[in-house]
A and B are shown apart, each in its own frame.
Chain A
Amino acid sequence: MIRFEGVTKKYGDGSGGESIAVNDLSLEAPTGRITVLVGPSGCGKTTTLRMVNRMIDPSSGVISIDGNDTAELPLAELRRGIGYVIQHAGLFPHRTVLDNVTTVPRLLGTDKKTARRRAMELIERVGLDPDLAKRYPAQLSGGQQQRVGVARALAADPPVMLMDEPFSAVDPVVREQLQNEFLRLQSELGKTILFVTHDIDEAVKLGDQVAVLRVGGTLAQLATPAQLLADPVDDFVAGFVGRDRGYRSLQFAEAPELELTNEPTVTIGTTASSVRAIGEPWVLCVGDDGEPMGWVRAAAVTSAVARDLLQRGGTVASTQGSLRELLDAALSSPSGRGVVADADGRFVGTIRASEVVPVIEARQQSVAAREDAAAAALHGEAAPA
């Protein structure tokens, strides 16, 4: 657990005055969880992160890791025990990928052979081709460099990781890949992670808890992503969390067992007459393993269903998916019927937006009722008997 107690960082502005980067911050980043620090530029999130491994020393307050005051640990020992990943990876250009990854173990005195063997494992673990180990950073793409940066930070198996906007310098597609793999990796490794980002979507996606900081370095709200979207504490947080948050919060609402509609399906090669026999303007085409392939407009089929007639626009929701997935599947489907597939990707049925919305409303009422009950219970306790 990383614990901040009344941590403040002030900078002199050179003329006797001072500016406050982080102001009286108290916060706990629980063991084995991802805590995301998010906020606009100038909110002190990076300063906060860098105070943990004392790249910056706090002006006052205590930062402890598992109960040990960081200020009292020898600097090198502290830093070697913390994985550190930064925005541009910061790989050493003169060392190969393999030698980059072995840096900290070598500093800690691990012999070369052991360090290299472990580095190779990590390189594969972060999703890199082992052939890349002999390359130099300049020969890698941005996404690959970032993976090496993560592998390097993990090399000495530190319990704590600090990550400063590690995915913000790569393009959105690669970023999403990296995020997903990062979550997979974390589910295997269970590190205590402090993660800085300016991107609220990334914060909500990755964080077990999210700390929103405001300019001037004060903590505006510390909450789980779902709470943050559902109940921003003030206008600043609401504004920062942004538009669509009602819709986005649905991603944290697991869908209950819903009645799905059975859907007659066709396959590639189904004749025009069989398609028309179904009597629907849109019919769903599935593949050999029952996986949804796309919608076909019945009127467009002249002889038989062909690949180039498929409309692939719709998203597919999973039976274990969130309400957001279900609603999105329904809204993005040309037929208005959202496609739902099981864990193996096989089509199981469809659902309409009009069927999802009552579920959402019912959920809101139950949340409100729970809160009322909680408030009533609180009053009941407080009131004299």
Chain B
Amino acid sequence: MITFATVWAWFTDPANWQGSDGVPTRTLQHLEYTFITLALALAVAVPVGAWVGHSGRMRWLVTGANAARAIPTLGLLFAVSMLVSPLFTSGLAFTVPSIAVLVLLAIPPLLSGTYAGIESVDPAARDAARGMGMSGWEVLTGVELPCAMPLFLSGLRSATLQVIATATIAASISLGGLGRYLIDGLASQDYVQMVAGSILVALLALVADLVLALLERFAVSPGISGRGQSVSRRRRLRLRRGRARDTAASVKNSTDAPLSADPA
């Protein structure tokens, strides 16, 4: 029977906080996978997304990556694991396929976030930048990327949640991390452990999302986020910029480039 007391007992049992399957170790593992995955996915998605957004060429890359999101994550995880595992011996046989899938899943939100961010830069600002004699690189780094920050960061938030969630599921193909409590608990009918693990995963996801939300405060220019301005001022601004364009953009974004990831 699951009660608050049994779950509380699990959390207060010192045995669960020590050793190779203690909470600190599992949490650190989970974070480690998340960081490695995001670093690899960023290294691929940001340059590609920035280039597609800047040049306007090969948009099908973004469309394709978004369409690929329809592939069920669990299926992708199993399929890649079965294909890749035999190629590796030792512990890598479990980690490499999982990380590979996690990277694949993190790329679409990062790619479309970066692309949509750069795409959404006011054409007049871009035109003015070029007209003032900025090089393509200067326009990209000085104008486009800073203006793309909000959409890029929302892509990063989606990707992070996606990775944390999928890393949990990847415990079913022997990856470590917090997912082990869920999968091992299932195997041993230890339902208390499963619930405790679920709470930890949910907390980790919430904290990660909060941290990224805070990051947004520092990384986005107040001129774009509108912080520090009165609400009415922002309203007026939105009205002036023309609702038609906003609407078109939002329809387009949600059709072609859904920024939200599955919680897998």
Contacts and interface: CB of A to CB of B under 8 A. Distances in A.
Assess A/B contact in the complex (Cβ within 8 A): yes
Interface of A: 53, 55, 75-82, 84, 86-96, 103-104, 107, 136-139, 142, 149, 152, 162
A259 to B, nearest CB: 51
Given A55-B127, A84-B128, A87-B124, A93 B147 contact: yes
A280 B223 CA distance: 62
A93 B224 contact: yes
15 contacts: A79-B130, A80-B132, A82-B131, A84-B132, A90-B125, A93-B122, A93-B223, A94-B146, A104-B132, A104-B133, A107-B138, A136-B221, A136-B224, A138-B226, A138-B229
A142 B126 CA distance: 18
Q: What is the predominant secondary structure among interface residues of chain B facing chain A?
A: helix
The 3 closest A-B pairs by CB, nearest first: A136-B223, A90-B128, A79-B133
Contacts of A142: 240
Contacts of A84: 128, 131-132
Residue among B122, B143, B223 with the most chain A CB within 10 A? B223
Interface string B108-129: 0000000000000010111111
B243 interface: no
Contacts of A162: 131
B135 interface: yes
B134 interface: yes
Interface of B: 122, 124-135, 138, 142-143, 146-147, 149, 220-224, 226, 229, 233-234, 237, 240
B224 A103 contact: no
Nearest to B233: A139
Contacts of B131: 53, 55, 79, 82, 84, 86, 162
A139 B236 CA distance: 10
A75 B138 CA distance: 14
Nearest to A142: B240
A152 B142 CA distance: 16
A103 B125 CA distance: 12
A90 B127 contact: yes
Contact of A88 (B122, B142, B221, B233): B122
Nearest to B220: A94
B53 to A, nearest CB: 16
A265 B191 CA distance: 100
A95 B149 CA distance: 13
Nearest to A104: B132
A263 B124 CA distance: 55
Given A79-B130, A86-B124, 5 more contacts: A91-B128, A92-B143, A96-B223, A138-B237, A142-B240
B223 A90 contact: no
A369 B221 CA distance: 66
